[in-house]
Amino acid sequence: MVPSQNDYAVTYTSTQICAVKGSTVDIGCSFKHPSRVNVLKRVWFTKGNNYNPEDLKTDPAYAGRVSYSSHWKSCTLTIRDLRESDSAVYKFRFETDWKDFTGLPGVTLTVTALRVHVDTSYSNWATLTCQSSCRLNYRPSCIWYKNGHKISRRNQYWYSAKLNPSDSYSCAVTGHEDFSSPSVCVQDDSCNRVNYSNRRICAVKGSSVDISCTYNSYESPIQSKSWFRSGRGSEDLTEDSQYAGRVEVTETERGRSTLRIRDLTESDSAEYHFKFKTQSFEWKSSLPGTTLTVTDLQVKVSRIISVHESQTEAELKCESSCSPAGRLSFVWFKNNQFMVEQSSYQDLFNPGDIISCAFKGHEDYRSDHVYAPMLPSVSVSPSGEIVEGGSVTYSSVANPTANYTWYKEDEDSEKASGHNFTITDFRPEHRKSVIILNIIRLTLVVLMLIALFVLGLWMRKKTHVALETGPNESVNVIKVNTRADYENVSASQGVTADDTEEQEELQ
């Protein structure tokens, strides 16, 4: 029976979702199809069309942030570290060996940043509300900060306080304190506050980075300003020996400070804060600063697709210690030539090819070069007969270097790790694996001989062997005539090449 349209369906838990920036969202989804068909591919997409979608997993903007449910007939999409740019309509599509199906109309996701709304209807009091640009699917439990310090009070989305022009307030959803709202003044814009331009920055090892913030103080003048990092007290970074000669602080406009760190090392990964001090007040808050992650890029083989003679078709991934890699996307180079901009790279590679990746905009700081990928191969030493009680070593090589785990056949527990595995007391039960290796070698040799034999037959078709008998001879003489000989003879006898080929076929 031919499956009908009603046999295919996609069901979304909700078609409208509002989520807070920095949080994680699950877009619930399930699908159905006839039991006699096989699902070949599952894709979530926001770009492309219903017939040619762009898989989110291949979009650099979502690198390391998305995952699909692996449960039976579940298609739930998980997106981590939400950004406002993630706001879009998400659709799920699955492909089978019979037909493809896209769930419409999809799910509209709106990612919102928090803000504090101040109501000063009463002259001596202010009512503060932690708001979002869309209606959250739940009423959040909020944490409140006053002048950068957490207020120990029952968590709720509103807060009332006595007016003080020097006070600033901020809020965050419980469990997502790293993404608090910007600090706002209760009465005017001259309160004490610090707001960071970026809460998370990912930078590549060896490059430079700028970390910025805006600030203002109710009391003037400001006596001192400085940047410091977590884990090292409040020491001014310009006086820290670890940063000697690598940091500078600039203020191109009033109320904006920028910390620049050059020649980044992985040990520079930390949370950075700005502080200022007046005669009677110091801003040194418990609010999150800017988290910097310094990464050293590495090229990893995602999968080897096929091997074509001396070429290998493979998919490579660029990995970093940034999870996710901020707003940065990856670019790829083969033999120092730019190839493509995407999170993964699939191509045919020759043995001499060198491949590297970099963050877009930071192409001068590439990963270490790796050579073309090579399938893992296993060898055994010694290769001949092994005496019982002797020693045998199995070795495996791959490019790039892989992680190896050795198992004994129809057993689940691993025997060893590393690219070498040595059996020091060889016993009869070990012979099986050695025999298997020898069988593999013998099979390869036989296949090569068969290939050479077929090649020889094919080459023989390029020549013609004519059997001739001389008028005065009692034995047959084998004469080898090439196509050139036939063309010369045929020309002298008025026989065309087509006639000759027809005669050859008849013979």
Bridge pairing between strands 256-261 and 209-216: antiparallel
Q: Which residues pair with 371 in a beta bridge?
A: 354
* Alpha carbon of residue 291 to chain centroid: 21
Q: Residue 289: how many CB atoms within 10 A of its CB?
A: 22
**Measured between alpha carbons, how far is 80 from 20 in angstroms, rounded to an integer?**
11
Confirm if 287 and 170 have CB atoms less than 8 A apart.
yes
Could you tell me which residues come within 8 angstroms of residue 488 by beta carbon, excluding any fewer than 6 positions away?
Answer: none
Tell me what pLDDT residue 497 has: 39
Residue 348 within any structural domain of the chain: yes
- Judged by DSSP in three states, 488 sits in helix
DSSP 352: T
Q: Which of 244, 275, 294 is the last residue of a domain?
A: 294
Residue 173 within any structural domain of the chain: yes
Q: Are residues 308 and 318 in the same domain?
A: yes
SS (H, E, C) 243-304: HCCCEEEEEEECCEEEEEECCCCHHHCEEEEEEEECCCCEECCCCCCEEEEEECCEEEEEEE
DSSP 192: S
Q: Are residues 179 and 236 in the same domain?
A: yes
**Measured between alpha carbons, how far is 243 from 404 in angstroms, rounded to an integer?**
39
DSSP 368: P
Tell me what pLDDT residue 132 has: 87
Q: Are residues 158 and 77 in the same domain?
A: no
Give the count of alpha carbons within 13 A of 57, CB side only. Answer: 11
Residue range of the domain that includes 490: 464-506
Residue 120 within any structural domain of the chain: no
Q: Are residues 48 and 160 in the same domain?
A: no
Tokens of 470: 């001389």
Q: Are residues 29 and 85 in the same domain?
A: yes
Number of folded domains in the chain?
5
Q: Are residues 143 and 289 in the same domain?
A: yes
Q: Are residues 284 and 233 in the same domain?
A: yes
Q: Are residues 275 and 162 in the same domain?
A: yes
Residue 380 within any structural domain of the chain: yes
Where residue 357 sits, what CATH number does that domain have? Answer: 2.60.40.10
Residue 221 within any structural domain of the chain: yes
Residue 452 within any structural domain of the chain: no
Q: Which of 372, 388, 403 is the last residue of a domain?
A: 372
Report CA-CA distances (Å) from 245 to 209, 236, 238, 269: 14, 14, 8, 18
Residue 453 within any structural domain of the chain: no
Q: Which of 237, 267, 294 is the last residue of a domain?
A: 294
Q: Are residues 209 and 280 in the same domain?
A: yes
Q: Are residues 265 and 319 in the same domain?
A: no
Q: Are residues 360 and 398 in the same domain?
A: no
Confirm if 55 and 43 have CB atoms less than 8 A apart.
yes
**Measured between alpha carbons, how far is 461 from 268 in angstroms, rounded to an integer?**
70
Model confidence, pTM? 0.63
**Measured between alpha carbons, how far is 332 from 163 in angstroms, rounded to an integer?**
56
Tell me what pLDDT residue 243 has: 92
Q: Are residues 266 and 340 in the same domain?
A: no
Q: How many helices (H) and strands (E) does the chain have?
A: 3, 42
Confirm if 184 and 192 have CB atoms less than 8 A apart.
no
Tell me what pLDDT residue 16 has: 94
* Alpha carbon of residue 410 to chain centroid: 34
**Measured between alpha carbons, how far is 274 from 21 in angstroms, rounded to an integer?**
23
Could you tell me which residues come within 8 angstroms of residue 256 by beta carbon, excluding any fewer than 6 positions away?
Answer: 212, 213, 214, 215
* pLDDT by 10s per residue, the chain, length 507: 455 567 899 999 999 999 888 888 999 999 999 988 899 999 999 988 878 898 998 887 887 789 998 788 899 999 988 888 899 999 999 999 988 999 999 999 999 889 999 988 877 888 899 888 888 766 668 889 999 888 866 668 888 888 888 999 999 888 778 888 999 998 878 899 999 998 888 888 888 999 999 999 998 899 999 999 988 888 899 999 999 999 999 998 889 999 999 999 999 999 999 999 999 888 888 888 999 989 888 888 777 777 777 788 888 888 777 754 455 678 999 998 998 887 788 888 888 888 999 888 888 888 877 766 665 667 776 766 666 666 777 776 565 556 667 667 675 555 666 667 677 665 666 555 554 555 455 555 556 666 666 556 655 655 444 333 344 443 333 333 333 343 343 444 444 434 443 333 333
**Measured between alpha carbons, how far is 375 from 493 in angstroms, rounded to an integer?**
58
What length is written for the chain? 507
Confirm if 61 and 18 have CB atoms less than 8 A apart.
no
Residue 346 within any structural domain of the chain: yes
